[in-house]
């Protein structure tokens, strides 16, 4: 502990947060309605007492609504908290409490989260609703409270910059940092961490994805869930992390340096290392970010930061401002379009792009960012427009989950210009078709063709549709073909949680089975889903683990399961039984489908299909066929569909001609003979993939594409998909 008092100067109001300037640290905090602010400094994260407290002078240490100071000689690694005093008038939205320990909203690192006693952070409302309860409160215990850390910016990026692949060339892979390697069979030296993910880069490279979309890594409190698993008795967790405590801080418990030796700056450096090494491997990093609510909850929730700094600025409040509007379903809603909060959001995005080198963001419940302070949806929301037009974010991916828990659904209508969207209509349309639902043909074709009904009218492109079959929220791919209903009993909510409309099917047995015909049909369906995703116009996103048949045992809402239900099972790498063989077969198929998509610009065209030929080519860019080779009657309840794609470079907006393709899909429960149109002159159809064939003939790399002996007819098994490509007939041989 320092033996002398530090030298405290007035400091500067900007930038916000705690910034090390070489000879000391500048602290800056927004607190408009505060009457007094104290800065508490700690040597270590678990310290019970500060080694120094700075009482900020409202004349010297305040500029407008910003409180600030500069402390000479202070080094990175020092921990700090604030106490802020002011009026407690909840019916006017003011909830100051001088006894609460508060985190800096701009804190770049958080330590001691694992020792948090949240009951010490509860607001007044938990005990009473009277206007003044300050007499009944003692100071909270700093030893049992998370602390902000003065982070160091010193890091060797080795020349790294964000990759920023164009969306149309991207293949997204959604995963969880901890769950990816937490299992004891993951084979990594640093399981469940940023470093563990680095160790799995060769696996990701082999799979061929371009972009990792990570579930929230902004620090959150894992132990906020107070329920237990009724089947095991184990305490449930906040596993997914959609309850942010600190928006600028990478999660400390995902850091090996913090877990092993309590290095408070470890998470920052290890996150940067992960990004740098992924970029070296050609893999982008996209962060799932949760600006719609915070972990402080409703009026009976926590006071650890925003509520104690300026509650009426950061949150949407009800008409009786004691209460919170709740469009997030989590107790509070961030007031995203207030100018102060809007600046906070932009500052946060800038930090992750400029300082942490990330390539993009997926915005959870993004419709909330389009609401005004009263909760009304705005025509031109300032924060969404600012994000879309921001010069620093110009090449950054911005992806919206275009709905919220308050009833807003904006898929295809999300404001702000260049936003991409998670397209749940694609998910549902593809699931229904392959399940065999009647009357879905028109919608299925629309989803395959890029969802022009959603994105064409406002000038967006096919790649603005983020196509997905599965995501973290819902069934895994293996469970989609193994369960008729959700099985969330382990979540402790009597199976009431999670989506009831999954459009899934178990093919005769609920859950796992040893019956080979059912297993083979399920495997074929997983291949059909994966192939459809890679053949569709738009940006494909796959759920991590689907490529190896990861199951959650029918749990379609595993947000609280930090255990084998959610973790990847890597046993298939060493096992040699039939289930491991199926996982390896599925992995190979999906790997080859990703490679197939990336090789062929025809599936990554930047414009929607027109259905007609251009002046340079009389062949339509896309043509649809019924199984008999005739025109499709879109009003019939057919379960078979074929389409032909023209691969000329003018059509696909590429620098070279691609193959033409003829693709056939049979979602029925019986085998069907398809008529195949003639290949282009001088070319013949060759077989690329047939999910109805056993491996390795289910998908063939280019040298092994097979010539068809009966080129104008093809027999598709039930529930199967076939890809044909055009290939120039070798000299000296006539087309068959």
For residue 733, pLDDT over 80 is answered with no
- Asked if residue 184 has pLDDT above 70, the reply is yes
What phi and psi values does residue 67 have, to the nearest 5 degrees? -100, 140
Confidence of residue 131 (pLDDT cuts 50, 70, 90): very low
Q: Exposed, middle or buried by CB within 10 Å (0-12, 13-18, 19+), for 649?
A: middle
pLDDT of 41-67, one tens digit each?
A: 999 999 999 999 999 999 999 999 999
Q: Is the pLDDT at 652 greater than 80, yes or no?
A: yes
Q: What are phi and psi of 443, to 5 degrees?
A: -65, -40
- Residue whose token pair is 């759920």: 543
pLDDT-derived band at 136, boundaries 50, 70, 90: very low
In the prediction, which pLDDT does 577 show?
A: 85
Q: What would the two tokens of residue 235 be? A: 């305490």
Quick one: pLDDT at residue 125? 66
The helices-and-strands tally (H runs, E runs) of the chain is 15, 28
Tell me how crowded residue 242 is: count the other CB atoms within 10 A of its CB. 21
Task: Assign 229 to helix, strand or coil.
Answer: coil
Predicted pLDDT of residue 126: 56
Predicted confidence band of residue 736 (pLDDT cuts 50, 70, 90): very low
Radius of gyration, alpha carbons of the chain: 28
Return the pLDDT at 592.
Answer: 98
pLDDT in tens, 403-453: 999 999 999 999 988 999 999 999 999 999 999 999 999 999 999 999 999
> Which residues does residue 663 pair with via DSSP β-bridges, in sequence order?
643, 723
Model pLDDT for residues 24-46, shown as the tens digit of each residue:
999 999 999 999 999 999 999 99
Token representation of residue 326: 């709740």
In this prediction, residues 644-660 reach a mean pLDDT of: 91
DSSP string computed for 413-432: T-SSSS-EEEEHHHHHHHHH
- In angstroms, the CA 512 to CA 508 distance is 11
Which tens digit of pLDDT belongs to each residue from 376-412?
999 999 999 999 999 999 999 999 999 999 999 999 9
What is the per-residue pLDDT across 144-168, written as a single tens digit (0 to 9) for each?
999 999 999 999 999 999 999 999 9
Q: pLDDT-based confidence at 79, cuts 50/70/90?
A: very high
Output the pLDDT for position 563: 97
**Structural domains in the chain?**
1-167+220-286+297-315+326-364+377-399 (2.60.40.10), 171-200+419-608 (3.20.20.80), 611-728 (2.60.40.1180)
Residue 603 has pLDDT above 80, yes or no: yes
Residue 78 has pLDDT above 50, yes or no: yes
Q: What is the DSSP letter of 138?
A: P
Percent of the chain topping pLDDT 70: 96
Query: Which own/partner pairs from 44-51 qualify as long-range (CB within 8 Å, at least 24 positions apart)?
Result: 44/79, 45/79, 45/111, 45/112, 45/147, 45/149, 45/262, 45/264, 46/112, 46/115, 46/143, 47/79, 47/142, 47/143, 48/141, 48/142, 48/143, 49/142, 50/81, 50/142, 51/1, 51/2
Task: Report the pLDDT value the prediction gives residue 335, as an integer from 0 to 100.
Answer: 98
Going by the DSSP 8-state scheme, the letter that residue 232 receives in this structure is T
Tell me the per-residue pLDDT of 220-244, one tens digit each, with 9 for 90 and over. 999 999 999 999 999 999 999 999 9
Mean pLDDT over each residue of the chain, to the nearest integer: 94
pLDDT of residue 139 exceeding 80: no
pLDDT, tens digit (0-9, with 9 covering 90-100), for 614-645: 656 678 999 999 999 999 999 988 999 999 99
Q: What pLDDT was estimated at residue 576?
A: 80
> What pLDDT was estimated at residue 232?
94
**How does residue 140 score in pLDDT terms, banded at 50, 70 and 90?**
confident
DSSP state of 605: -
Q: Mean pLDDT across the stretch 367-384?
A: 97
Plot region of 451 (φ>0 → left; ψ -120 to 50 → alpha; else → beta): left
pLDDT of residue 265: 86
CA 266/CA 22 separation, integer angstroms: 20
The neighbour count for residue 487, using CB atoms within 10 Å, is 17
| CA separation for the pair 588, 506 (Å, rounded) | 23
* SS3 at position 343: helix
Residue 247 is predicted with a pLDDT of 98
Residue (of 531, 485, 520, 532) closest to 506 by Cα position: 485
Q: What residues are annotated to the active site?
A: 364, 401
CA 197/CA 598 separation, integer angstroms:
24
CB within 8 Å of 4: residues ≥ 6 apart: none
User: SS3 of 197, please?
Assistant: helix
Rounded to whole angstroms, how far apart are CA atoms 296 and 359?
29
User: Does the model's pTM come out above 0.85?
Assistant: yes
Q: Which region, left, alpha or beta, applies to residue 200 given φ > 0 means left and ψ of -120 to 50 means alpha? A: alpha
Q: How far apart are CA 486 and CA 565, in angstroms?
A: 14
Average pLDDT over residues 528-551: 98
For residue 135, name the pLDDT band (cuts at 50, 70, 90): very low
- The kind and range of the H/E element at 94 are strand 94-95
Residue 121 scores a pLDDT above 90:
no
- CB 215, CB 250: distance < 8 Å: no
The closest of 360, 447, 372 to 411, measured between CA atoms, is: 447
């Amino acid at each position: 502990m320092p033996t002398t008092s530090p030298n405290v100067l007035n400091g500067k109001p900007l930038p916000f947060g705690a910034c090390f300037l070489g000879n000391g640290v500048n602290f800056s905090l927004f607190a408009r309605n505060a009457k007094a602010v104290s800065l508490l400094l700690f040597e270590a994260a678990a310290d019970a007492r500060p080694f120094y407290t700075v009482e900020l002078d409202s004349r010297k240490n305040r500029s407008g609504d910003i409180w600030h100071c500069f402390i000479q000689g202070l080094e990175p690694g020092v921990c700090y908290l604030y106490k802020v005093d002011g009026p407690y008038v909840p019916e006017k939205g003011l909830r100051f409490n001088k006894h609460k320990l508060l985190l800096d909203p701009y804190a770049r690192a958080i330590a001691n989260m694992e020792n948090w006693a949240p009951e010490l952070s509860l607001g007044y409302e938990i005990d009473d609703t009277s206007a003044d309860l300050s007499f009944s409160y003692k100071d909270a215990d700093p030893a049992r409270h998370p602390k902000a850390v003065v982070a160091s910016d010193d890091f060797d990026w080795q020349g790294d910059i964000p990759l920023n692949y164009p969306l149309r060339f991207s293949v997204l892979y959604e995963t969880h940092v901890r769950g990816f390697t937490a299992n004891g069979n993951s084979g990594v030296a640093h399981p469940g961490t940023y470093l563990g993910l680095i160790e799995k880069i060769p696996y990701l490279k082999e799979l061929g994805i371009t972009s990792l979309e990570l579930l929230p890594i902004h620090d959150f409190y894992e132990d906020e869930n107070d329920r237990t698993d009724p089947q095991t008795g184990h305490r449930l967790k906040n596993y997914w992390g959609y309850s942010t405590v600190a928006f600028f801080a990478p999660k400390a418990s995902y850091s090996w340096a913090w877990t092993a030796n309590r290095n408070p700056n470890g998470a920052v450096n290890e996150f940067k290392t992960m990004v740098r090494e992924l970029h070296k491997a050609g893999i982008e990093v996209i962060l799932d970010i949760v600006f719609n609510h915070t972990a402080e909850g409703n009026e009976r929730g926590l006071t650890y930061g925003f509520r104690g700094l300026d509650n009426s600025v950061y949150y949407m409040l009800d008409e009786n401002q004691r209460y919170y509007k709740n469009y997030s379903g989590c107790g509070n809603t961030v007031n995203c379009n207030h100018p102060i909060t809007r600046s906070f959001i932009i500052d946060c995005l800038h930090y992750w792009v400029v300082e942490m080198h990330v390539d993009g963001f997926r915005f959870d419940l993004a419709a909330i960012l389009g609401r005004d302070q009263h909760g009304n949806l705005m025509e031109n929301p300032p924060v969404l427009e600012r994000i879309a037009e921001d010069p620093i974010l110009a090449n950054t991916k911005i992806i919206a989950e275009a709905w919220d828990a308050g009833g807003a659904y904006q898929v295809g209508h999300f404001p702000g210009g260049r936003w991409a969207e998670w397209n749940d209509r694609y998910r549902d349309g593809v699931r229904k078709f392959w399940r065999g639902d009647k009357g879905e043909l028109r919608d299925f074709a629309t989803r395959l063709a890029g969802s022009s009904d959603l994105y064409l009218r406002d000038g967006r492109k096919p790649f603005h549709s983020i196509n997905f079959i599965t995501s973290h929220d819902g069934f895994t791919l293996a469970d989609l073909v193994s369960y008729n209903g959700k099985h969330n009993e382990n979540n402790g909510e009597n199976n009431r949680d999670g989506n009831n409309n999954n459009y899934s099917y178990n093919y005769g047995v609920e859950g796992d089975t040893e019956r080979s015909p059912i297993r083979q049909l399920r495997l074929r369906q997983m291949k059909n889903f994966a192939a459809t995703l890679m053949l569709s116009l738009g940006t494909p996103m796959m759920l991590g683990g689907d490529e190896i048949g990861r199951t959650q045992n029918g749990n379609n809402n595993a947000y609280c399961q930090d255990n084998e239900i959610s973790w990847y099972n890597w046993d298939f790498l060493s096992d040699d039984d039939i289930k491991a063989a199926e996982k390896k077969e599925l992995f190979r198929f999906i790997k080859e489908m990703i490679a197939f998509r990336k090789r062929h610009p025809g599936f990554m065209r930047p414009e929607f299909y027109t259905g007609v030929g251009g002046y340079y080519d009389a062949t339509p860019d896309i043509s649809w066929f019924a199984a008999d080779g005739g025109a499709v009657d879109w009003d019939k309840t057919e379960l078979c569909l074929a389409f032909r794609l023209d691969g000329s470079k003018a059509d696909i907006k590429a620098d070279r001609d691609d193959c033409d393709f003829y693709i056939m899909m049979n979602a029925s429960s019986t085998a069907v003979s398809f008529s195949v149109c003639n290949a282009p002159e001088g070319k013949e159809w060759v077989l690329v993939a047939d999910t109805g064939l056993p491996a390795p003939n289910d998908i063939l790399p280019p040298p092994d594409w097979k010539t068809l002996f009966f080129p104008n007819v093809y027999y598709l098994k039930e529930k199967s998909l076939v890809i044909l490509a055009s290939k120039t007939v070798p000299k000296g041989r006539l087309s068959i």
